[in-house]
A = this chain, B = another copy of it.
Amino acid sequence: MGLIVQKYGGSSVADAASIKRVAKRIAEAKRAGDDVVVVVSAMGDTTDELIELANQITPLPPSREMDILLTAGERISMSLLAMAIANLGVEAQSFTGQQAGVLTDDVHGRARIIDVRASRIRQALDGGAVAIVAGFQGVNEQTNDVTTLGRGGSDTTAVALAAALRADVCEIYTDVDGVFSADPRIVPSARKLDRITYEEMLDMAASGAKVLMLRCVEYARRNQVPIHVRSSFSGHVGTLVTDEVVEGESMEQPIISGVAHDRSEAKVTVVGVPDVPGTAAQIFEVVAAADVNIDMIVQNVSAAKTGLTDISFTLPAADGQKATAALAVAQDRIGFESVQYDDTIGKLSLIGAGMKSHPGVSAKLFGALRDAGINIEMISTSEIRVSVITRSDQLDDAVRAVHTAFGLDSSEGEAVVYGGTGR
């Protein structure tokens, strides 16, 4: 007998019929003998509808009130789900973030979990009940104010509860069958991965894969919580995210796990920067002060002029306005010539823990893109990832070409081990 944490997203509980279907699955897990904790998001479009209501009231809703408003959504879904489970003859109790002991800091809208004191959940489980917990929300213990965890918050709630309760697994139910080697909408031959390491999943999430949020994977890795990403619409086994090497399985990992892509970034180029020590630091201090996270950075000697250089960096397109405005203010002080902004870029990332020990991955990647006629504008690498920036309208072609080149297409079976020279 184990302890399972299950998390269901908004599309899994979109209406009464969906809630009943999910309830059946939960009741089965409970009847199979496990203790079950369920984290649930708001039904379907509830959160968007509440945001729309707030926008009808004011262009600038105070963040404390916004958090109270949005958490109404999980309150509705969690109580309905508890009712549906009770209706199947299995005891169930729902708990708000506060009742579940999810303590956070006081940053409304994107609070961080600082502790999970799940004694009430433990008590409910010991009493034989399924515990349903509102995802995405917590409470600031100092002020007893409701907070929300921001995007992907329900996944984080699930992993945090799994860690606090020392659950055997945290099952994240979604509308796809698991983590794929590429987005199946772009690469129809993409394969579902049976397992993937935390590290790889982190790089996938950071590179635009939407199935799990970065923050939730970080939390899972830090606390060694195995995540099982699977579909709430089928009974299929999904993708296991873990560190473990299971005995009996091949120790030979495939080099490449998948190809991620991201169209949500933009590129800023600061042109004609004085090529003296400290200027780059000044530029990125200005951007950081505007609360903008940057991703890739490239610096080139300016072709035309001596003593000047160009600095390009990528950032979430949503922050483009903020960053360019902040740079404009600092232009005279820093002494660069101009700022160029381009939001028609795409990012392709090749991810695989196996590439650590296999050189030549980058070369093969660049070759595949060249053969497909795709120009590379920026490059960035980490131990288990290579990312390139392309034109946005060439990104789909790039993903397909790379997916094929690395033998990831499902018709070819397991990914081939590529050995070459010069990464």
Once the chains are docked, how many angstroms separate the CA of A361 from the CA of B53? 54
- The reply to whether A82 and B56 contact each other, CB–CB distance below 8 Å, is no
Partner pick for A20 among B57, B68, B96, B146, CB 8 A cutoff: B57
- The reply to whether B65 and A83 contact each other, CB–CB distance below 8 Å, is yes
Once the chains are docked, how many angstroms separate the CA of A214 from the CA of B380? 71
Write out the residue numbers on chain B whose beta carbons fall within 8 Å of the beta carbon of A62: 82-83, 86
Once the chains are docked, how many angstroms separate the CA of A63 from the CA of B61? 33
Closest to A87 in B: B58
Residues of A whose CB lies within 8 Å of any CB of B are 16, 19-20, 50, 53-54, 56-58, 60-62, 64-66, 68-69, 71-73, 75-76, 78-80, 82-84, 86-87, 92-94, 96, 98-99, 120, 144-146
- The reply to whether A65 and B79 contact each other, CB–CB distance below 8 Å, is yes
Write out the residue numbers on chain B whose beta carbons fall within 8 Å of the beta carbon of A68: 75, 78-79, 94, 96
Given A58-B84, A64-B93, 7 other A-B residues pairs in contact with their CB atoms under 8 A: A19-B57, A20-B57, A60-B87, A62-B83, A62-B86, A65-B79, A69-B80
Write out the residue numbers on chain B whose beta carbons fall within 8 Å of the beta carbon of A73: 72
Once the chains are docked, how many angstroms separate the CA of A53 from the CA of B75? 13
Q: How far is the CB of A397 from chain B (nearest CB, A)?
A: 45
Copies of this chain in the oligomer? 2
Q: How far is the CB of A57 from chain B (nearest CB, A)?
A: 5
Q: Which of A16, A83, A98, A146 gathers the greatest number of chain B CB atoms within 10 Å?
A: A83
Q: How far is the CB of A143 from chain B (nearest CB, A)?
A: 9
Closest to A132 in B: B65
- The reply to whether B60 and A79 contact each other, CB–CB distance below 8 Å, is no
- The reply to whether A86 and B58 contact each other, CB–CB distance below 8 Å, is yes
- The reply to whether B83 and A58 contact each other, CB–CB distance below 8 Å, is yes
Q: How far is the CB of A50 from chain B (nearest CB, A)?
A: 7
Once the chains are docked, how many angstroms separate the CA of A53 from the CA of B73? 13
Q: Which of A53, A78, A87, A145 gathers the greatest number of chain B CB atoms within 10 Å?
A: A53
Write out the residue numbers on chain B whose beta carbons fall within 8 Å of the beta carbon of A65: 79-80, 82-83, 86, 92-94
Closest to A64 in B: B93
Write out the residue numbers on chain B whose beta carbons fall within 8 Å of the beta carbon of A82: 62, 65
Closest to A69 in B: B79
